[in-house]
Amino acid sequence: MIEHHQGYTTIKRYGRNSFRPAGKHPFKIIHNARAVKYDLIQQFEESTGIILPSGVKSNLCTQSVPILGKQLAGMKVQIKENKP
């Protein structure tokens, strides 16, 4: 579980023996974020035709999700500008 802080997986006690999730986004847990990101990176590679080194890939996989999309989008724009 990535989001293991208040607002995601915290459980509050209601009554004697019932529990409910507390916070803004109960049960909004990304279980397999690394695989999802890896998939994103592979799609990016296919669409641009550029293969990223494995070190770069693993770094991107460990970063938080919103940054990854922005980075790939930025890289795509740069690549388009560089291509004649």
CA distance 41 to 30: 17
Residue 39's pLDDT is what?
74
Residue 46's pLDDT is what?
76
Residue 72's pLDDT is what?
64
Predicted structure pTM score: 0.33
pLDDT digits (tens, 9 = 90+) for 38-58: 777 777 777 777 777 776 766
What is residue 80's three-state secondary structure? helix
CA distance 64 to 37: 9
Residue 47's pLDDT is what?
72
